[in-house]
Amino acid sequence: MVRMNFLGLRTTAGRFRFFAVLEALSWLGLLTGMAFKYLPEEGNEIGVKIFGPVHGGVFVLFLLVALLTAREYEWNWKTTVLALLSSIPPFFTVLFEVWAVRTGKIDQQGVSGTESPKTLAASS
């Protein structure tokens, strides 16, 4: 039986998926913190103080992982720019990752934690 490793960090694609989901979750935390800061009359800033730096750090890590993934999978400049831009609107990193898998920009085997494209090419 093949074990599916949803967020496997052993492959480039798995790391990309991990940081895409993590970036989306940090967006969720930041947006929730902003809601508690601005929506009640007497807002509480603790959510923004916590999730602001967390989101900033995850944002930078996602950009680095996206560039490494682009190099590993030999993406053209349009795909690379699209991956980088996906980190700006909330939750678009996950949408980009799903699109990348569906269009073959990232292989499904790499995402499930089995092999990377260079490993697959070398074994053929």
Range of the domain at 64: 12-38+50-103
Whether the Cβ atoms of residue 84 and residue 66 lie closer than 8 Å to each other: yes
State the pTM of this model: 0.80
Domain assignment present for residue 3? The answer is: no
In a domain, residue 63? The reply is yes
Work out how many domains the chain is built from and give that number: 1
pLDDT of 15-71, one tens digit each? Answer: 999 999 999 999 999 999 999 988 887 888 888 999 999 999 999 999 999 999 999
Q: Is residue 122, in this structure, part of any structural domain at all?
A: no
Does residue 44 belong to any structural domain of this protein? no
DSSP 102-119: HTTSS-HHHHTTS--HHH
Q: Is residue 58 part of a domain?
A: yes
In degrees rounded to 5, what are phi and psi of residue 85?
-70, -25
